[in-house]
Amino acid sequence: MSNLKIGIIGLGTVASGVYKTLQDINDIEIVKIAVKNINKPRNVNVPRELITDDAYEVVNNPEIDVVVELIGGVEPAWSYISSAIKNGKHIVTANKELLAKKGEELFNLAEEYNRVCLYEAAIAGGIPIIMPIKTILAGNKINKIQAILNGTTNYILTKMDTDGASYEDVLKEAQELGYAETDPTGDVEGYDAAYKITTLATIAFKKRIKIENVYREGITKIRKEDMKLANEFGYKIKLIANATIDEEGNADVRVHPMLISKNTTLAHIDYVTNAVAMSGHPIGNIVLSGPGAGEFPTASSVVGDILAIKAEFGKTDYMLPMMRCHHELRANPIHIDDTFNKYYISITAPNAIGVIAKIGTICANKKISLASILQREVSENNTADIVVITEKCQEKLIKEVVNELDNCTVNSLIRVSD
C-alpha cells in the first residue's frame, strides 16, 4: 500500500507535535509544510526542503492526499481549506472558530466534492469527543451538555480559588507562564468556549446551532470575594459551556461563569484540564475529561483523524460516512432573557433597617423565591455586603430586580447550576 501523503499548514505548537508524532508512524509521508515565516526559530527540526511560505504549494500539490490546517482563524484558513477540497484533498483541522462560523458551508462543500473533514482536535484538545458521539454514542439522544472547554480561564479561576488572588494578578501570572496570550480576550471573554460549544452542540443534538445565537459572557468580572463566598455556599465558580435542547428542538446554548456544586465532577476539574459532561438516553450521564490543549494532547487528536482517513483511503468511494455532517435541521434558539436559572447576587447596600426586607419584597413581587441570604459585617463607610442565592426564575425578571435595587450596588450576578 502506498503512503498517505500529508501537507500541513502551520508549524506552531500543535503542528510541531503532529510532525514529531508522525515520525514514528509508518505509511504516512509529510510532503510539504507551509509557514508564515520560514526563518522563525522553532522547537522542531524540519528539513528545509519540506518548508514553504506559500500555503498554495500545499493546497495545489497534486501529490498531497490530506491537508492538515493548524493556523486557526477564518481567513486565510477558509480560502486554503476550500481550495484544498476543490483540489480533491481530505481535511483535518483544529480550527474551532472556522467550524463555528463557516461549518455549514465547509461540510456542504466537502460533501459536494466527496471529501471528509475531520476536526477532533477543535473541541477539547486531547479529549476524544467528536468521534465517540458520532460512533459509540450514535444511538443516544443527548439533550444536555455542561463543559469546561477553555484551559486558560479554568487555570485563572482555579488559582483565584486556591490562592485567594484577584483576577488581574492571576491573569498576569498566567501570561508569564504562557497559559494566557498577551491579548487574552479570546479566552477570558468566552469566545473560544463559545466556538467550541457551537460545534459540539450541533454534533450532539443533531441540529445546527448558529454562533450568533450563543450567549457569551467571560470571567473578567469575577472577584476573589465571589470565589470565597461561593465556597461558603458549597460551590466552585467555573466558566461553563452549557447547552440543552427540548423535544421541540428549542436549544439554549451559552457560555458564562456558573456556581457549580462541589458535589459534581466539573467542580473539581482544575487548572488547564477540560471536561465534557453529557446527559441523554439511554447512556444517562457521562463525563469525559483530560488535557484540553498543549502540543502533544492536541496532536494526539489530529493524528487520530489522519489515521482514520488512512484506514479507509483507497478502499471505498464514500469514506467515513458516520463522521460526515448530515444536519439538515436547525435548532430554535432560546434567548438568554427567556431562560430559567438560579442566581447568586452580591450586593453592597446601606446599613439601614429594612434593607434585607426590601430586597426580599422586590424579589417577591416578581414571584422569585430566595434559597439563601447572607449579610456580612458592616464596612467603615456604613455599608453592608449582602449575598443572595435565588431559586430558579426567569432571566428577564432577575434583571428587573437588579434595576429596582435603588441605593444598592450589585457587585456580581452569576448564574447557579442546578
> pLDDT tens-digit profile of 226-246?
999 999 999 999 999 999 999
**In the predicted model, is pLDDT for residue 344 greater than 70?**
yes
**393 secondary structure, DSSP code:** E
Distances (CA, A) of 240 to 88, 201, 236, 258, 392: 38, 13, 11, 6, 18
The catalytic position among 96, 101, 144, 196 is 196
pLDDT score, position 1: 57
The grid coordinates of residue 293 equal: 490543549
pLDDT (0 to 100) of residue 327: 78
pTM for this structure? 0.96
**96 belongs to the catalytic site:** no
pLDDT in tens, 205-229: 999 999 999 999 999 999 999 999 9
- Mean pLDDT of all residues belonging to the chain: 95
pLDDT digits (tens, 9 = 90+) for 57-80: 999 999 999 999 999 999 999 999
Is 296 in a helix, a strand, or coil?
helix
> For residue 294, what pLDDT is reported?
87
Q: How far is CA 253 from CA 107, 258, 396, in A?
A: 21, 14, 17
Q: Which pLDDT band, with edges at 50, 70 and 90, does 284 fall under? A: very high
Hey, is 298 helix, strand or coil? helix
- How confident is residue 340, by pLDDT bands cut at 50, 70 and 90? very high
